[in-house]
């Protein structure tokens, strides 16, 4: 008896095509989020994906033609054995099982938290995702404390359950939304992810260039290199979630909890970097990144002339990158009422810029009228390992809530201190 072509072949090809398309979209979206062009490696990856999709399309076309030919032959061949009802059912069961082999699952953070809070075991998919997060932490040299370790980057996790491979492509991916929300990254700060151990970021000084006579030996024109070291510091924050909310399986609830965690991390990270702390957090040991305003005397800005003077201090340091402002909300309010020059009619802050220079305002600068001007590519932010989550169902139990404690590891360092200038708005009218 002729063996029919199983429909699952077509389904498998279509699933593979969808996976490749998703990979390509992810590469493009990452570049859009980071506001940059595709790298050579990313461009090559996109081209490879296009070629693979083209090949799959040809396979589908050939398969359709083969199926059409078989159907025509079956109509002419009256001696073909017709399978019994039991054989038909078995074939359908096999096709369905093979189709499930390629099924995509979505990792649910809410489900993982709910299982821990209710003392229930994890399903195999959730356990596989947590195991991947633990593996990332070990590679980064980070010790974990919580029950949930989330992989730092988007990845694919394959688990085997009852003989079936289930592919999960939607994990937590905290870095992409964190970068998108972080004002410092938007200003141009360099963000390094998936770091392992202490990392030295090289900093090149100005080259030694001199005048010499026509036949005199030239001086060594090679620039000198120094470096700053990024070391992991544990950042911890928490959010309280009602048990009623955790009982929901809604995608909106899932996204809300993820957003709360990202906001908690981003707020503390920005407040620390933009602050003036010594990294000791009230203790005697350095446990956090040094605030970029630590040890810096802020320039008093009373008028537009003072503001121009502050910018010139950075320009005199031969900073050649694109500069921008990060300012507090109160500083923004003050600059909106500051006139450009004694005879000017325009205001200093208009259309999201300070006299044409991009300005980003955030409450994470503080409640004072603080402004920071500079080339933000001279600020390096690093992250290590995974996101570690502790589920605490006891502390807020009386209020019907579960406390989620998140731990992550970050550091931030200025590559060149003279690439930034700090000011405080102090005008008579404000």
Q: Which of 429, 196, 183 is nearest to 325 (CA)?
A: 183
Distance CA 376, CA 416 (A): 10
Sketch the domain layout of the chain as residue ranges. 7-102, 238-380+388-425
Are the C-beta atoms of residues 162 and 253 closer than 8 Å to each other?
A: no
In angstroms, rounded to a whole number, what is the distance separating the alpha carbons of residues 133 and 31? Answer: 24
One digit per residue, the tens of pLDDT, for the chain of length 430 reads 444 444 446 777 777 888 888 888 888 877 777 767 778 788 888 888 888 888 888 877 777 777 666 555 555 454 445 555 555 556 555 555 544 444 556 778 889 999 999 999 988 888 888 888 888 888 888 888 889 988 765 555 666 554 444 444 445 556 666 766 789 999 999 998 888 888 988 886 554 455 656 666 655 555 566 789 999 999 988 889 999 998 888 888 888 888 888 888 889 999 999 999 999 988 899 999 999 999 999 999 999 999 999 999 998 887 778 899 999 999 999 999 999 877 667 899 999 999 999 999 999 998 899 999 999 999 999 988 778 899 999 999 999 999 999 888 999 999 988 999 999 999 765 4
343 CB neighbour count, 10 Å cutoff: 6
DSSP one-letter code for 279: S
Would you tell me how many other CB atoms lie within 10 Å of the CB of residue 328?
A: 23
pTM beyond cutoff 0.85: no
Name the pairing type of β-strands 379-392 and 190-195. Answer: parallel
**Maximum Cα interatomic distance, the chain, rounded to a whole number of Å:** 101
Q: Alpha-carbon distance 412 to 240, whole Å?
A: 28
């Amino acid at each position: 008896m002729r063996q029919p072509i199983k429909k699952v072949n077509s389904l498998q090809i279509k699933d593979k095509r969808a996976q490749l398309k998703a990979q390509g979209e992810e590469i493009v979206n990452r570049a859009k989020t980071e506001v940059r062009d595709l790298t050579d490696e990313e461009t090559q990856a996109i081209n490879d994906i296009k070629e693979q999709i083209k090949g799959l399309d040809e396979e589908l076309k050939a398969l359709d033609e083969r199926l059409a030919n078989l159907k025509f032959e079956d109509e002419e061949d009256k001696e073909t054995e017709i399978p019994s009802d039991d054989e038909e059912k078995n074939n359908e069961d096999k096709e369905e099982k093979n189709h499930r082999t390629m099924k995509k699952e979505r990792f649910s953070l809410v489900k993982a938290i709910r299982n821990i809070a209710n003392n229930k075991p994890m399903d195999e998919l959730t356990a596989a995702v947590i195991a991947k997060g633990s593996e990332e932490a070990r590679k980064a040299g980070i010790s974990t404390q919580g029950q949930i370790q989330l992989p730092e980057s988007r990845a694919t996790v394959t688990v085997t359950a009852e003989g079936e491979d289930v592919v999960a492509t939607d994990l937590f991916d905290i870095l992409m939304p964190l970068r998108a929300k972080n004002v410092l990254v938007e200003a141009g700060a360099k963000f390094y992810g998936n770091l392992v151990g202490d990392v030295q970021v090289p900093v090149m000084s100005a080259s030694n260039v001199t005048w010499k006579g026509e036949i005199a030996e030239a001086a060594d024109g090679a620039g000198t290199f120094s470096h700053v070291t990024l070391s992991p510091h544990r950042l911890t924050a928490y959010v309280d979630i009602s048990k009623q909310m955790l009982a929901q399986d809604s995608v909106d609830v899932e996204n809300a909890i993820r957003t709360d965690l990202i906001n908690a991390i981003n707020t503390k990270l920005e407040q620390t970097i933009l602050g003036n702390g010594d990294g000791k957090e009230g203790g005697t040991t350095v446990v956090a990144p040094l605030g970029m305003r630590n040890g810096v005397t802020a320039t008093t800005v009373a008028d537009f002339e003072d503001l121009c003077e502050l910018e010139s201090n950075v320009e005199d340091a031969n900073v050649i990158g694109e500069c921008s402002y990060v300012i507090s909300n109160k500083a923004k309010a003050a600059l909106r009422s500051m006139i450009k020059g004694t005879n000017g009619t325009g205001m200093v802050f208009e259309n999201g810029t300070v006299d044409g220079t991009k300005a980003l305002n955030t409450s994470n600068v503080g409640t004072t009228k603080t402004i920071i001007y500079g080339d933000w590519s001279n600020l390096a932010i690093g992250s290590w390992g995974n996101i570690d989550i502790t589920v605490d169902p006891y502390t807020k139990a009386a209020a019907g809530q579960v406390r989620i404690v998140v731990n992550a590891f970050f550091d931030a360092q200025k590559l060149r201190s003279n690439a930034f200038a700090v000011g405080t708005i102090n005008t008579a009218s404000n």
